[in-house]
Amino acid sequence: MSAECSSYLNADKVLVSGFSCPRAGGDARAVFCCGFQDVKYCCDDPHSFFPYEHSYMWWLSVGALVGLSIAAVVLFAFIITVCVLCYLFISTKPRSKLDTGLSLQMAGKTGC
């Protein structure tokens, strides 16, 4: 089993010619072509292939940061809202109990 890594331009925009895996003098188990569009190498895990440029990973990170920031703002707004509602609930509560008109007496004693 072998794989062909096509030619590519590296980060310095230099053309690197294609090669087959495993490479001569390399690990015999490295039969898959792995890496990025600007860096390719032979590896032994078929799931290591990542067919995007490095900038794709950067945008993934920016997207994750934006999503986390939005989630943090929503959570912060929720906590502030709950605190304000609790404060309003506590501050608008009546200070004294209403008089029901009934007098309470202790059991066992008779009143005159």
**Does residue 70 register a pLDDT over 90?**
yes
What band does 50 get if pLDDT is binned at 50, 70 and 90?
A: low
Q: Is the pLDDT of residue 105 over 90?
A: no
- State yes or no: pLDDT of 51 exceeds 60: no
Q: What are the angstrom distances between the C-alpha of 61 and each of 40, 56, 69, 106, 108?
A: 22, 9, 12, 71, 75
Domain map (residue ranges) of the chain: 2-41, 51-90
pTM: 0.41
